[in-house]
A and B are shown apart, each in its own frame.
Chain A
Amino acid sequence: MAVCVAVIGKENSPLYVWVGSGREELHLHYLAHTGLDVIQEKVAAVSKTPGDTRELYLGLLYASEEYKVFGYTTNTRVKFVIITDAANTTLRDNEIRMMFRRLHNMYTNVVCNPFYIPGEQITSREFDRGVAALVAGN
């Protein structure tokens, strides 16, 4: 399903990046990173109209020849990025949205862990398992 899942912190530093096996890891890192440009722009556009409850799901950020990059941002400005194959037509917008919701829940659980320091890299077996299940689509 997804080929890359990234959790990016408030100050745009990566907290967790999962890349599907056999993929060009560096390239996907770059893609996740460059997705921040669009996220930043979208978030800035929304925050200019106050009183508007923000939709957390930001939709398709951009699509290259091979990949599609989707974005999501929490109220605490933590960003999620999911990258899928551009050829993958089975994943519809709604499914991506659901994936993000699940990811958000999983992230919330990570933050609830008293031994986790917010802003640090996520090293959690539970989260690893969650992401593995998420990208496998079950």
Chain B
Amino acid sequence: MKYTIYSLQNILTYKKIKSTRDQTKAQDAGRENPCSPPPCQPDFSLCGKMEDDFDPYSLPPEVTTQPHALIGMLGLDTSNKATHKAVWEAFALNRRTDRTPLHFCHLNNDFQMPPMKQKRQSYEWYIPKGILKSNWIPKYLYHVPALVVLFYDLDWNDSSWTEKKNEVAGQVQSLKTVLGGRNSRVALVLIQSGISVPGEDTGAAEKAATLCTACDLPAKHLFVLPHSDVHLLGYTVRLENALSEIAWNFYQGEAKGVRAHRDFLNKTNHTLLFVRHQFKLGFLNEMRNDAQAAIKHYAQCYHHLLELRSTDTNLHEIRIVAAIVNYKICRLDFTLNLPRDAIAQFRRHIDLFRQRTGPKELIFEHYAWLSRQYQIFGDVFEEAVRTGLPAVQTQHPGFYYQQAAQYAVLRRKTALQVCKEVAAPVSDLLEGWSKLEFYGQRPWRPGKHSLEPPEQQREMEGIKEVQYHEVKEVNHSDFIIPLFSSAISQFKKYRCPRIKRHLMVQMAEEYHQANDSSKALTLLNHVMWDYRSEKWWSLLQSASVLGLKCAFNTAAITEYFGLALEYMGKRLSTTDEEKKRVHNNLLRLLNGVTPEPEPGTSSEILTAATEAWSTLLGAQVSPITVDMTALVPCLEVRASFQKSQYHVDQEVSVSVKIRNTYSCTVFLSSLSVGVSSMSHLDRLVEANPDKLVLPPGQVIEVSLHFVPHVEDVGKKLKVVDVRTQLGAPGSTVVVWLHWSGSGNEGVTMHAASAPAFPEFSVLCRDEFDTAPPLVETEILPRQPLLTVEVSYDTTALVWEWLPVKIHLTNTEASMVSDITINFGLHSSSHSNLEHATQVCSASGLQSDKLGSQVTGFTCGNLGIGEATFLVFYVKSLTSSERAYTLKIEYSVSLQLGGTVVCCPCTYEKTIQTQARIPFQVSVETQSLKFEKLARVANGESFLVVPRIKCTSHVPITLTNSSLSLAGEVYQIGTDAASHVVNTELCEGEMGVDCFCIAVDDKVVANSAVTLGQYVLYWKRSEADSVAVSVSVGLPSVVVEHWGVWVECEVAPQGTVRTPLPLAYSISNHGSHTAELALSMQVSDAFMFAGHKEVRLRVLPGCSERITYTLYPLLAGNVHLPKLSLSVESHSPGQPTSVDPLLARILPTHIYIMPQSKESDQRISLLGNNFSTLVIG
């Protein structure tokens, strides 16, 4: 047998409610086309149709029909005349609720009225035979029109007016004859094609008056319906308002007639008539749309009804009538928007009748009736809600449907109790049950309303037949299930999920009773999940017991296993024997044997179920997977990694704990865990059944291991699921128990085992419950065993190549191969630093394209125990702190789990340096007299003096220095070398260098000349450091142009009283002849021979030489006689006096030695050497 899965929605609304509501709908539908019932016969066609579905405890259909005034329409030829059809449709079809409540029926010319009864002159001897006649309501609803409207096509200006007038009069007359003694009113409507304008056609009023007289109709009963398509509906609405007035007058008249009878009644014989008359008054008022008055009369009617003496014999009639009256009151109350009154009336009604149970043999009738009462009220309530009444969570139709369902269940229960030994009836006493003259009477004694049964024997037989009918011919489930279905949809609407679930359980029970176990099982599955998550074990148990039965009945093997495993767990407080029984059934199933039936299974179901099981088990049963996560089963599982992190070369171990809360040992044949590892697509399996024996109440632990794959590095591995196979290996039926995740997800996550306040549970609960399983583990790269030593000076000097020395020693157990080193600025460094930092390996020192990273530096392989050494250099161009990352990647071959795996390792280290400036260089330009100078003349020699101040924390050595001069500058003396070669400077010390240079002649006068750069080569004083060069810009000088140039030729020193030659050679660099006046001032230290004052003319490009012979008088550093020169003939732009130039370039002093002894010749020679140094 195949287990069919129904959708929940399907099940909940599977069967239509055969309620009064549907009948009302049928009635409504019938009313749409009222041409159909032949009006001449009493209309029982609807009742006749109900014969099969006749329910003696519900309301007759005519009662639930909304009463509207009945207006007959005569003379409309709808099939032949389009105009008439349009008029008929405007009146009768598609009536909206805002139009006057009227009911139109189309009459043919040959219609008949129901015959009138003989008017009773006296009620004195009249004994009524029952309370309410069943033909009275249909009579007024369908057969006695309050008003018959005769339609006739007649214009005022019709040519044959008189003939037609007479014809109309004749028709009216015959109509009145047909109406006979009935008080039905007659109205005449003239359908006119032209629109008459009042006042224009004076003949109209007159003609109307004559027409009324001819027809013997009051003037108010004559109407004109102008037929034009546009306004037809408007005219009909106005017309029907006028017609409704007339019709209502008719009902008022009828009511007056009923009221007139009252005077004849007496309290002894006619108590039934009090009830009947008030009902009639209420109904007639309802017909004339006066709900207030109708309620008043119905209430009076109900009151009279309660005053009737009731015995077991007439109780049924009384309560059926009470149901009708109560229905009318409640419905009208809701219509008038008085829901409280309606509910109060219903409560009172139920309270009054709940105690009146009637005879014991027919107790089920009482419950049937009660159930109907609730259902009817629920329907009325629901209808009111649909038309806008607000309902609340605690007061809505659902409660009434629920109660109705419960009474329906009670009805069946009592019926089965009472009617245990019921035999098929001999005679058909129930014949005509649905066509009785009075509502609620017994078919075997119709028309008898007495306190005692007229024939005891017949009464007994009648009761037997009712019992037989109840048990054999009533399908109780057809009543009960739709009621539950209605209630469920209501409770769903009003947000009562738990009540809904309760109802679903009850509905499932009902489906189970109705032999529809698969539907019941589907319902239960939906409900049980919620009971599990809210830990209502008692409720879960009740559902579970039922579920097991259903699963057995339908041979739903998966559900059976699931429910059974749950049943065996400790959460359900069933007895041990019960659990044992279920367990045995499981064991039977595992061996391919049909399980024992659940207790209480009836024999015919058992046959079907056994057959289903044997077909199922006869064929090869495909493996069954039970989702344990959604259950609260007797086996609980926790799968957990042992650590939250593993290195890739370590074995990952997963421990699975299984707890058995069943009272006996459970055997599993295999256990497997799924892990989200790239490499392990296979599951981790423990297939040794000996390790999977679960003793009762104990936790066993199974450890599983695997080696992660290299591709798993950096990933998080998860326990995907746990799966075990139930039973010993080789079972006929393979049952997989499946837990998703680590076992405590799903319903059990927040329900079965997880404590509400875990912080409180640590001391009290066992580890199984409290320890959170490690569901995830992270796979880390292998821990590197390579020894790396990094040595460097943490204080770097700016511009230097700071060596970072790396010693690698292979301390791995195997050869290290493919060593790759990345070294560079830390990735989080500021981008400015990237441009101000250079990193290179030893071989890259000479390269000029250096970045802040060295990547992919390969270093080959290292055997076991071998060591290697390498150096990286870093250059800091600014003084700031820097962080560098050293990353060494290599791979080793490892023996893992029997296979050789090439395993990558990574070593990472960050180093920090602080760079400081090693020295500061300041450069000055000086004249040959060591005076600071900013302006020089073309060709004039001057000095460049760099001063180097050391700020380094370690001694530095200046290895060399040189000038890198601009094009127009040249150095004096080709062998001029640096003065700082191999000078070591410590912090605070200073070195001074000196170079003599001159500026080319070609330089334009008065322009600034950039001299070039001073290049200094330096290194740390340590032996192995690399020398680096630093270039410092030389200051610029302004070049002057002098037309006259003087050079002095004199020995470096003289000797007292020894003649000393002195010559000035004056040259003209200009383009004009220079007229010069020269004068030589006297000096105390010398006598001299030569021109004291002389005038010279020097041609361009030529020079004059003026010689003197000095005779020193004093020893020491003495003033030379001062030469002064002035230019006489001006060339433009040249100074007249050249004295400032002379002061700068000519020596002012000279050393005069004392007269030496003969032997001291060498001293004077020595003095020659010092001459330049000592000036100043």
Contact = CB atoms under 8 A, between A and B. Distances in A.
Interface of A: 9-14, 17, 25-26, 29-30, 33-34, 36-38, 41, 61-62, 64-65, 115, 117-120
Contact of B393 (A13, A17, A38): A38
Given A11-B534, A14-B535, A64-B403, A34 B499 contact: yes
Given A117-B757, A120-B755, A37 B496 contact: yes
A22 B1064 CA distance: 147
A61 B756 contact: no
A119 B755 contact: yes
B496 A34 contact: yes
B170 interface: no
Contacts of B751: 13
A47 to B, nearest CB: 15
23 contacts: A11-B534, A11-B535, A13-B536, A14-B536, A14-B538, A30-B539, A33-B534, A33-B536, A33-B539, A34-B496, A34-B499, A34-B502, A38-B394, A61-B394, A62-B399, A64-B399, A64-B403, A65-B406, A117-B764, A117-B765, A118-B756, A119-B757, A120-B755
A19 to B, nearest CB: 10
Contacts of B406: 65
B502 A41 contact: no
Contacts of A65: 403, 406
Interface in B730-789: 750-751, 755-757, 760-761, 764-765
Contacts of B755: 117, 119-120
Contacts of A10: 756
Contacts of A38: 393-394, 496
Contacts of B505: 30
Interface in B488-511: 495-499, 502, 505
A28 B52 CA distance: 39
A30 B538 CA distance: 9
A9 to B, nearest CB: 6
Contacts of B1156: none
A34 B458 CA distance: 48
A14 B308 CA distance: 51
B1081 interface: no
B450 interface: no
Q: Which 10 A-B pairs have the closest CB atoms?
A: A119-B756, A13-B535, A37-B496, A34-B499, A117-B760, A34-B498, A29-B538, A12-B534, A118-B757, A37-B498
Contacts of B539: 26, 29-30, 33
B542 interface: yes
B526 to A, nearest CB: 16
A117 B534 CA distance: 18
A65 B505 CA distance: 19
A38 B395 CA distance: 11
Nearest to B370: A65
B498 A33 contact: yes
Contact of A41 (B393, B756, B760, B764): B393
Contacts of A11: 534-535, 750, 756
Contacts of A17: 538
Given A9-B756, A26-B542, A64-B403, A37 B534 contact: no
Contacts of B542: 26
A118 B536 contact: no
Given A61-B394, A65-B406, A119-B755, 12 more contacts: A13-B534, A13-B535, A13-B751, A26-B538, A29-B538, A33-B498, A33-B539, A34-B498, A37-B495, A37-B496, A62-B394, A117-B755
A112 to B, nearest CB: 13
A41 B760 CA distance: 30
B495 A117 contact: no
B394 A33 contact: no
Contacts of A25: 538
A38 to B, nearest CB: 6
Contacts of A30: 502, 505, 539
Given A11-B750, A12-B534, A29-B538, A36 B498 contact: yes
Max chain B C-beta neighbours (<10 A), residue from A10, A36, A37, A38 = A37
Nearest to B406: A65
A10 B757 CA distance: 11
Contact of A37 (B393, B536, B750): B393
Nearest to B755: A119
Contacts of A62: 394, 399
A33 to B, nearest CB: 5
A26 B509 CA distance: 14
A63 B936 CA distance: 118
B949 to A, nearest CB: 74
B747 to A, nearest CB: 12
Interface in B400-429: 403, 406
Contacts of B499: 34, 37
Nearest to B542: A26
A7 to B, nearest CB: 13
Nearest to B756: A119
Nearest to B764: A117
Max chain B C-beta neighbours (<10 A), residue from A33, A62, A64, A120 = A33
Contacts of B756: 9-11, 118-120
Contacts of A118: 756-757, 760
Contacts of B765: 117
A118 B756 CA distance: 7
B108 to A, nearest CB: 53
A12 B539 CA distance: 13
A47 B534 CA distance: 22
A23 to B, nearest CB: 13
Interface string B363-406: 00000000000000000000000000000011000010001001
B355 to A, nearest CB: 12
A65 B347 CA distance: 10
A46 B542 CA distance: 34
B544 to A, nearest CB: 12
Contacts of B495: 37, 41
A9 B536 CA distance: 11
A79 B539 CA distance: 18
Nearest to B496: A37
A134 to B, nearest CB: 21
